[in-house]
Amino acid sequence: MAAKDVMQAARPRNEAEETVEAIHRGNVDAVVVQGPSGPQIIMLQGADAPYHVLVERMSDGALTLDADGSIVYVNSRLCALTGLSAQQLVGRSFASLFAGPVPQQRADDAVSDAQLRRSDSDGLPVSVWMRQMAMGGVAATLVTLTDMSIQRRAEEVATAERFARSILEQATDAVVVLALDGRITHASWVAEQLAERSPVGQLFSEAFPLDAQSASQQGTLTRFSRESLDRALATKPFHGVEVALRNERMSGRSFLLSGGPLVNDAKDTVGSIITLTDITERKRAEEQQTMLVAELNHRVKNILAIVQSVAGQTLRTSPSLPAFNKAFSGRIQAVSIAHDILTQTRWIGIGFNELLTTVLAPYGVGEGRIAIEGPPVLLEARLVLPLSMVLHELATNASKYGALSAPLGQVTISWRRCDDRNRLELVWIERGGPRVERSGTRGFGTTLIDRVVRFDLDGEAALDFEPEGIHCRLTFALTAETSPEHPPASAVQPD
């Protein structure tokens, strides 16, 4: 046998002895053994000590399961998460850790969400990672659990923040949130528009310089210096102070300033929520309403005076009660139509053409009996009632005695502007009716036309009873120089 072969033969014994000696002396920390599927590494006691330290120190919960799903190891973080000791946990089933579905290992090595039972409180949201592996020839499952409650809380806070922001964005009022030092921390879109830029970071008094709207509230505002106003706004509740913004773009606009405390979960006041509501339109509407009520009062009194006068005069000139009834109803109807027009046009006025069409509708204005012709003219509201009454008188007379009482009679109405366009001339001509014979007496209709035109319309009326038909010429001012405060002439008793 060659010397080399002798060495080869001798080596296994020496190596075996050396290996045993090394293990005995603690010089090795793992050995290789032949397992069913090839060599396996078996760690000797203490070899994985660093890993144990790491696992014990990690911020995630960690545990190991045996093939039956029983817990064989837990780290201290898992004890803290569950509120149970390692002794209580080892030996329990993995499933008993969870409220609800038990997490399973996922093929893509991803985490799954679960609810960890706790001994002292509600379940804890966790994300669970699992992997099966062979440890020294034995199947085991490694599991880590990550506490998701902080992340969930952060998500909830972010959601609440988004929610609050969307409310701010949608608010039609200017809304700002003040910190206790009076500085703006949040502002709605409308508030940014009012301040002409983002007011966040500014003091409220810098972003929104205020003036009081009324003398009594001037006192409320001037009681505070600028600094103390900011502090007061940030700490004291108040409601409904009418203010204006010292801002050229916002001059003439009125705002309602209100504020209330902003409290946190612990019920501590951490600032305030201030709203500036633009009440310019509301105030304008209130003023208009007050004015309208006064105007209505005035007009109702006038109408009652007119009705009273018309009733008395109609009664005096009516031969019988049925004749009174007919004449009075017609005149009141004319007043009513005039008021319908005023209401429909919101007391703004009406085109002359439209007025004629409406008032003369019962007399066949659309049927070829009455022809109307003239330029477009807008009548002021104050002209509507007197003109309606005059036109009614003319039309009633025409249908009873004039052109409209005969089958082929016609009325032609024409108008034009005159006197530098400030006045209107209206001509009413009747033709084709019975021959007109002038009687000596003036009826109430004639008197009414004359007075209304003179006093209510500031004009003149020329009424000619020509044999072939009535010829009436009215001229009146289109614009009043002063608004008459006295009752209309139509209400004045005739001579």
Partner 1 sequence: MTATAMEQDGYNLRLYVAGQTPKSLAALANLKKLCETHLPGRYTIEVIDLMKDPALAQRDQIVAIPTLIRQLPEPLKRIIGDLSNAEKVLVGLDIAPS
* Contact footprint for partner 1 (CB under 8 A): 4, 7, 15, 18-19, 22-23, 25, 27-32, 38-41, 43, 46-50
CA distance 46 to 64: 18
106-115: long-range pairs with CB below 8 Å, 24+: 106/130, 111/146, 113/148, 114/145
**Overall residue count recorded for the chain in this entry:** 495
User: For residues 18 and 466, which CB has a smaller minimum distance to partner 1 in the complex?
Assistant: 18
Measured from the CB atom, the residue of 99 and 134 that comes closer to partner 1 is 134
Category of 346 on φ-ψ map: left (φ > 0), alpha (ψ -120 to 50) or beta: left
Closer to partner 1 at the Cβ: 48 or 460?
Answer: 48
Scanning 41-188, the segments in alpha helix (DSSP H) are 49-57, 76-82, 86-89, 149-170
Residue 149: partners with Cβ closer than 8 Å, 6 or more residues away = 124, 125
Smallest distance, partner 1 to C-beta of residue 40, A: 6
Minimum CB distance to partner 1 smaller for 134 or for 263? 134
Cα first-last separation, the chain:
168
Task: Name which of 37 and 439 has its Cβ closer to partner 1.
Answer: 37
Q: Indicate the residue type of 160.
A: A
Q: Which is nearer to partner 1, 27 or 422 (CB)?
A: 27
Of 33 and 154, CB closest to partner 1: 33
Contact 401, 423 (CB under 8 A): no
Q: Which two tokens stand for residue 388?
A: 């309606």
CB of 17 to partner 1, least distance (A): 10
398 burial type by CB count under 10 A (0-12 exposed, 13-18 middle, 19+ buried) = buried
Residue 76 CB, shortest distance to partner 1, in Å, is 22
Two structure tokens written together for 69? 């799903």
The minimum distance between CB 268 and partner 1, in angstroms, equals 52
Q: How far apart are CA 392 and CA 362, in angstroms?
A: 10
